[in-house]
Amino acid sequence: MVCTYCGGKTEVRNSRHQKRANQVWRRRHCLSCGATFSTHEQAAYDSVWRVRSKDDSLVPFHEQMLFVELYKACEHRSSALADATALTDTVINQLRKHATHGLLESHQIAITSYEVLARFDTAAAVYYQARHL
């Protein structure tokens, strides 16, 4: 990785897996200018996972689409944005168990999302169920 300040080479000084957010936090130090900064790295699931839809076509997985649907289900909450962000991370964490060979069924995404929502907020789960199941 290059330094965000000068473009020089950097080294990793500290690294921690952020299990809840599905990412790795790294503290980096620039060898040229001495700057220290943090990065958050996470998998680009849209390039790894494919979703089989009801008509048997394969499309890339889009985390943003999942986020939007969860946000719509949580709109009645005052903290909808933060809730939808955390719920998206939780659903993706659960989906990793079902993504065999990079393939997910669209129905599995809907069921997993519903189950996560049902544990979090019953009203949001009912709204999501009416739209997706």
Query: Which pLDDT tens digit goes with each residue over 28-59?
Result: 999 999 999 999 898 888 888 999 998 999 99
Two tokens at 2?
A: 């290059």
Question: Is the model's pLDDT at 21 over the cut of 80?
Answer: no
Please name the amino acid found at residue 98: H
Per-residue pLDDT, 123: 97
Q: Which residues pair with 36 in a beta bridge?
A: 29
What is the per-residue burial (b if ≥16 Cβ within 10 Å, else e) of 11-37? eeeeeeeeeebbbeebebebeeeeeee
Per-residue pLDDT, 69: 97
Per-residue pLDDT, 47: 86
Q: Which residues pair with 100 in a beta bridge?
A: 103
Kindly report the CA angle at 16 between 48 and 89, in degrees rounded to 5? 45
Query: Which pLDDT tens digit goes with each residue over 72-110?
Result: 999 999 999 999 999 998 999 899 888 888 999 999 999
